Amino acid sequence: MRRQLATLVMAIALPLGGTATANAQQEWLLNANASHFYMQTAKNNTTIETQRFTGLDGSVSRNGDATLKIDLISVKSNIDVRDVRMRYLLFETFRFPQAEITAKLDMQKLQDLTSQIRITYPLKFKLSLHGVEREFEAPVTVTRITDQSVSVTSAEPIIVTADDFNLTAGIAKLSEAVGGIPIVAATSISFDLVFETGEKIPAIEAARAETQKRVRAEETATISTEACETRFSVISTTQAIYFKIGSAELDHNSEPLLNSVADIANRCPSARVEVTGHTDSVGGREANRSLSTNRASAVVGYLVQHGVPASRIESTGYGDTRPIAANDSEEHRAKNRRIEFRVLPK
């Protein structure tokens, strides 16, 4: 038994009492159905909100390399508009759909599992999020469940700040979306992850395939008009549609968000969509109206090219006549230079 536990800890031999996995480099797989990953945020100095990420995938290779992938689109708070804001305004999932944690397990420190059920030790890991990678060290508790199952749990909340991952602008957008309520520019992360090996591998792989099938179905399923309106309302505040200066030519950096807009429009087949263009007050009124009209038309053209029926989408340009901020600074003028989307009444 002691030898079996040592093999479990090292995670470098073939599963005991079971068959070898087809991919020997992934000796231990994450049981996503038995694992949990949470994020807690705070707003208005008193309100704590908890979000769970349901899209998890991970493994530990034979030499102790551990990887955990978090699908940021899977964030769940049980409030649709909050989830949509988190995806588009904070994480910008149209550009950065995943976060990834990587670590090299210290097998020497885990040797105590051969004689104990549970140990706690500091884990060094890297977190890649929003195009930035940072190193962390945090205590985790490793528990031996069976000879073929272990859990890895955060021993205390792990604090991640917005500044570390260029998320400060996203926090500001979230705050604006909820009426200016202040949001703490840091979050705490906690998790309880179960890794399994041996004869449990086939069941995990089958569950993975079923999850992927379900996710693909969800990503193409028709959504309600209300859900469509929510998404377009939030997308209109992302400020992630760009044009060449003084031009109606779309910048290629706009494509990730516009592809998402096209996807949403195509999943709301009964909705008619209006695209409106707006400018700041710099320049003449007629020139601004013309520019905003041409920019809105360019967006419509892109969406039609990506499958949205032309009969379901129209455009209007308002120039500088509908500002959402004073035109007294570059920051405010940038807010006024925008493209908005809305579902038209039937």
Question: Could you tell me the maximum CA-CA distance found in the chain, to the nearest angstrom?
Answer: 83
Token representation of residue 226: 């209300």
How far apart CA 149 and CA 26 sit, in angstroms, is 14
3-state secondary structure of 291: helix
For tokens 């009426």, what's the residue? 179
Using CB atoms within 10 Å of the CB of residue 252, give its burial: 0 to 12 exposed, 13 to 18 middle, 19+ buried. exposed
Q: Of 21-30, 79-88, 215-224, which gets the smallest average pLDDT?
A: 21-30
* Residues 6+ away with beta carbon under 8 Å from 270: 225
Mean pLDDT of 168-189: 95
CA atoms within 13 A on the CB side of 230: 14
Q: How far apart are CA 149 and CA 287, in angstroms?
A: 67
Single pTM value for the model = 0.89
State the average pLDDT over residues 56-78: 93
Which run of H or of E encompasses 6? helix 2-10
Mean pLDDT is lowest, of 108-117, 141-150, 230-239, 281-290, for: 108-117
pLDDT > 90: what percent of the chain?
79
Residues 2-26 have pLDDT tens digits of 444 444 444 433 332 233 334 344 4
